[in-house]
Amino acid sequence: MQEVAEQTYAGQRAERAGLFTLLLLIESLHYVFARLLAPYVPPVAASMYVLAVGTVQVGIFAAARGKLGWRPAARHFWFFAAIGFCIAVSTLLNYVAVIYVDVGTASMLGKTGVVISLLLSVLWLRERLTFRQAIGAGLAVIGAATISFHPGDVAQFGSLLILLSTFLYSLHTALVKRYGQEMDFVECFFHRLLFTTTFLFVFAAWGQQLVWPDGRAWLLLLLVGTVDVVISRTLYYVTLRLFRMSIHTIILTLSPLVSIGVSLLLFGTFPSGQELLGGLFVLAGVALVTRGR
């Protein structure tokens, strides 16, 4: 019996390790995908089509589960409108930012979201900040400033877009934490995607970027929507249930390393010494903040 139990435990560990390895790889591809789409589709249209693909796929799944209805959207309209707007602008800014800053730097800077979420939880949700968390937040701020400080350089503009995007995504997380905890996950996820896609459609129409992609672009859009929206978020929440949140977040701080490697292979780009130094500060700060939680 003990041997069987040990084999079962080993199998569970291997399964968890496999899931997390897959999540780490997929999480690292967000900015890579945005950069790959840049030559084919304008940023607003690209982000809209990617979210639309995810919305359709999750909608089909929700319909199969009998959870596709209009009542949640009507009952929680302002909640979904708020988080949809935050995610739409955040996604759009990411797709624009990778035109100005390399993928590896964007990925490192994006990890400041952990610290921004912490500060929002302290200021808004009235959670307490420990000394270790304060040190970690300070390190991350220093790192973000180091990465972003490029006077007169387009890299500074791209870095600022990433920081604003990260803030908006963290704000959406705080809104979900405050008002969306009791909602059914499938219903909440579908309407989150639907409202986000709707906002992106409005942005694309307003910016006159409603272009129809060609066949090659559509193949890439279908791939990105499936992997970066549906599979990515599913793996994220599955692994979050298997690991403590602190361990979950610390392991995901490795994703910029994968992003840098993939970016070097695909685009031949690599962060500068200044950006790498700033990124180390950010990742060290995130690790401290997470351990403090």
- Residue for token digits 């973000």? 144
pLDDT surpassing 90 at residue 244: no
Structure tokens at 270: 């690599």
pLDDT interval class at 200 (50, 70, 90): very high
196 or 8: which carries more pLDDT confidence?
A: 196
Question: What are the pLDDT digits (tens) for 151-185?
Answer: 656 667 888 899 899 889 888 877 887 787 778 88
Contact, 59 vs 179, CB < 8 A? no
SS (H, E, C) 79-111: HHHHHHHHHHHHHHHHHHHCCCCCHHHHHHHHC
Per-residue pLDDT, averaged over 229-241, amounts to 80
Measured CA to CA, the distance from residue 73 to residue 89 in angstroms comes to 20
Distances (CA, A) of 22 to 28, 68, 185: 10, 29, 22
pLDDT interval class at 196 (50, 70, 90): very high
| pLDDT at 11 (0 to 100) | 61
Residues 6+ apart with CB under 8 A from 32: 103, 259, 262, 263, 266
| pLDDT at 292 (0 to 100) | 54
| pLDDT at 245 (0 to 100) | 58
Per-residue pLDDT, averaged over 118-134, amounts to 71
Half-sphere exposure of 113 (CA within 13 A, CB side): 21
Contact, 152 vs 33, CB < 8 A? no
pLDDT surpassing 90 at residue 77: yes
| pLDDT at 91 (0 to 100) | 95
pLDDT surpassing 70 at residue 289: yes
| pLDDT at 270 (0 to 100) | 78
Question: Residue 76 has what DSSP assignment?
Answer: T
Per-residue pLDDT, averaged over 241-248, amounts to 64
Per-residue pLDDT, averaged over 195-220, amounts to 93
| pLDDT at 134 (0 to 100) | 77
Q: What is the mean pLDDT of the chain?
A: 83
Per-residue pLDDT, averaged over 92-102, amounts to 92
| pLDDT at 115 (0 to 100) | 75
Per-residue pLDDT, averaged over 20-37, amounts to 87
Measured CA to CA, the distance from residue 166 to residue 118 in angstroms comes to 13
Half-sphere exposure of 232 (CA within 13 A, CB side): 20
Contact, 262 vs 103, CB < 8 A? yes
| pLDDT at 278 (0 to 100) | 81
Contact, 159 vs 101, CB < 8 A? yes
Name the nearest CA neighbour of 277 among 109, 143, 123, 171: 143
Contact, 292 vs 245, CB < 8 A? no
Question: What are the pLDDT digits (tens) for 57-66?
Answer: 999 999 998 8
pLDDT surpassing 60 at residue 4: no
pLDDT interval class at 247 (50, 70, 90): low
pLDDT surpassing 80 at residue 256: yes
Measured CA to CA, the distance from residue 258 to residue 176 in angstroms comes to 29
Structure tokens at 165: 């995007």
- Residue for token digits 């890439």? 220
Q: Coil, strand or helix: which one is 65?
A: coil
Structure tokens at 120: 């929002």
